[in-house]
Amino acid sequence: SASIFGALLRARAITIWTDVDGVMSADPRRVPEAKVLAEVSYNEAMELAYFGAKVIHPKTMVPAVKAEIPLWIRNSFNPGARGTRIGPPSPFAAEKRTVCGFSTVDNVATINVEGTGMVGVPGVASKLFAALHERSINVNLIAQASSEHSICFVCSAADAKLAKDQVEETFQREIKQGYISKVDVLQPCSIVAIVGDAMSRTPGVSGRFFGALGQAKINVIAVSQGSSERNISAVVDARQSAKALRAAHAEFLLTEQVINVGLVGAGDLGGSAMDMFFERAGVLLERYNVRLQIRGICNSRVMLLSSGSSYLGTDWRQKLAESKTITDLQRFVEHVETDFVPHTLIIDCTRSEAVARAHVAWLEGGLHVLTASQLGVGGDLAHYYDIWRARGETLANYAYEVAVGCSLPIIGTLQNLHGSGDTIKMIEGAISATMTHVMALVSPLEGDPVPFSQACAQAIQNGYAERDPLDDLTGRDAARKLVILAREMGVEMEKHHVQAEAFVPANHRLNPEDVAGSLVEFDAGLAARVVEAAAKGCVLRYVGRVRQDGRATLQLEEVERGAGLARAAGCSFHVAFHTERFAEQPLVIAGPATTGKTGLFADLVRISRDLGARDKGSALQPTVRRRTLSLSSV
């Protein structure tokens, strides 16, 4: 009535008071980040109203549209809010956004009519829709390929059986003769629609829309777009409609890129990484428009799960310590993953074989995996291939930089070299940060040597060693890293292929109360080798090396004092890439290995960007200076 009276009275504007602040970009019950739209054109409002927006009915707008009178949607409970203006298309508003809103039509069914006898036969479509009209069945969406081999339509789920029976009755002769092979009904389905006037002038909107659905692992059943390009609709499984809606909403920057996160392994590395995630949450949101929702943290004994719409916060350590919920990895992952958030990331900071084995199932389920464990890509070759098969099938991310170089970009550099067409001939260097620290004390460039037993005790006391120090002392940890590097080079390698020199036997027993005393028997032999190397102007370093032909070694070597590897000290890496491009002088990456949490954060940022997050750049932006012509020069 307000629209009618406004048109009759030739009002300058019509205000409709409701219980919301205006037209929302999406249903806030399904997309909590939905926002009020400042301006919407008549056509956009019509489209959104048809696709489920309840704020205004299409018929309400007809008198106002004819009289070109703007409509204002405002909140009677919040009169101070500006509301939404619905009016003629505004070029200014169109430039600000390509897509204005997102909506769904739920409880629908997709019916597909398929057969070779339909190709090139006039009248099939008219016969089909005339039959549906006879039964008063409303069709929401139509899709037909140019081959004419099939035609599908969407109707209310309540009409699905009636529609199928009517189609089969109408085409019973064609079905009997084999011209139509089948009439399938797929339900429950939902139509997800994106709406915007400016879509018709912007290339790539469809690509971004379907790319967002693909990234969220959502299968599209049918697609429809009119020539006006104001609306693009996709039919999806009803169980994924909320996830699809939120994925599309995030893609067009009407909301943050939301990622559900679950941490498995809340020890030193996992705990410090989680603290860093909370500390830098503002950076992620401000620079990359990414918001993390921490939905679960667990250790080997208990797990802490978020409750309802509230997520875990900085007090997670205390709550995890008080938790009585026994860790159940399957239940944990099921909780972290939700239907309404398109992306889920599981972070593995354990040294558990069982958790590493679960990586394949997570990837197969479309979950992204960020791991510090070497037991995935560095495990047996069959498991390695299963990981990459699952990743290839689902396009889920699998990041493992920390498993080799902590915060140093060793894996990333190797992948970039490969990706740019370079050939890796050999990788060598100090890849055991713990033993780099030990050997820099035992065989120093300057000063007096430290006995091997005391150097090892110091490394363990400083927290440099693995949880089981024998992993370092026997070369097991470094050997797994060589295996990972070899596989990145394209070499099929297992751990037993690495010829590793151990500092102590694998069955040697360490006394945690007296580490130095447990190792003192090895001091004399190593000290003699240090003296021998020093006489040649060298120091001893623990060097790993993997070649293109598949040979891999890990051993103590005499290194000239002037070499870069000789200067490696502290808990650090020094890795050299010998390639076709870097033939005369290798590409070297060197640095400390004590900041694994920053490596995990860097991998998190890379995954976010791969999922579509856009880097807004640093806070300091260049100033663009424009020259203004003077009147005299004109």
| Residue 217 annotated as catalytic | no
Asked if the structure places residue 314 within a domain, the reply is: yes
Q: Please give the Cα distance from 446 to 438 (Å, whole number).
A: 14
Determine the average pLDDT of the residues in 226-247. 87
In-domain check, residue 130: yes
- The encoded tokens of residue 454 equal 């005391």
Q: What is the pLDDT of residue 545?
A: 97
**Pairing between β-strand 84-87 and β-strand 39-41 as defined by DSSP bridges:** parallel
> Residue 104 pairs with which residues in a beta bridge?
192
Please tell me the total count of domains within the chain.
Answer: 4
Residues 290 and 213 in one domain: no
Closest CA to 398 of 429, 449, 364: 364
How confident is the model over 502-515, as pLDDT tens digits?
Answer: 999 999 999 988 99
Which residue has better confidence, 92 or 35? 35
- On whether both 419 and 560 belong to a single domain, the answer is yes
Query: Strands 538-547 and 424-430, how do they pair?
Result: antiparallel
**Assigned domain for 615 exists:** no
Confidence bin at 490 (pLDDT 50/70/90) = very high
H-helix segments, 171-267? 172-176, 205-215, 241-251
DSSP strand pairing (552-560 vs 572-579):
unpaired
User: Is residue 616 in some structural domain?
Assistant: no
Most confident of 46-60, 213-227, 303-317, 407-421: 407-421
Residue 627 belongs to a domain: no
Q: 204, 237, 253 — which closes off a domain?
A: 253
Distance CA 102, CA 46 (A): 13
Domain match, 398 and 432 both: no
CATH number of the domain bearing residue 585: 3.30.360.10
pLDDT score recorded for residue 397:
95
Does one domain contain both 379 and 334? yes
Domain with 394 in it: 257-406
User: What local confidence, expressed as pLDDT, does residue 109 receive?
Assistant: 96
**Residue 625, pLDDT above cutoff 50:** no
192 and 306, same structural domain? no
**5-14, 43-52, 401-410: least confident range:** 43-52
* Lowest mean per-residue pLDDT among 415-424, 451-460, 605-614: 605-614
User: Could you give the C-alpha distances from 43 to 58, 61, 88, 197, 422, in angstroms and in order?
Assistant: 10, 10, 8, 8, 53
pLDDT score at 273: 95
Higher pLDDT, 180 or 298: 298
In this prediction, residue 95 has a pLDDT band, given cuts at 50, 70 and 90, of very low
- The closest alpha carbon to 143, from 191, 196, 215, belongs to 191
Position 629 scores a pLDDT of 43
pLDDT at 630: 42
Q: What is the CATH number of the domain that holds 395?
A: 3.40.50.720
The per-residue pLDDT for range 122-152, each reduced to its tens digit, is 778 888 999 999 999 999 999 887 666 788 9
**SS3 letters for 532-587?**
HHHHCCEEEEEEEEEECCCCEEEEEEEEECCCCHHHCCCCEEEEEEEECCCCCCCE
Catalytic residue among 35, 481, 536, 597: 481
Q: pLDDT grade, residue 634 (50/70/90)?
A: very low
Asked if residue 382 has pLDDT above 60, the reply is yes
- Phi, psi at residue 75, to the nearest 5°? -105, 120
Tokens of 490: 């394209």
Q: Is 299 exposed, middle or buried (0-12, 13-18, 19+ CB in 10 A)?
A: buried
Give residue 633's pLDDT. Answer: 40
Q: What is the pLDDT of residues 563-590, one digit of tens each?
A: 999 998 888 999 999 999 999 999 999 9
Provide mean pLDDT across the span 48-67: 74
Q: Are residues 444 and 566 in the same domain?
A: yes
Q: State whether 335 and 374 are in the same domain.
A: yes
Q: The CATH number of the domain where 74 resides is what?
A: 3.40.1160.10
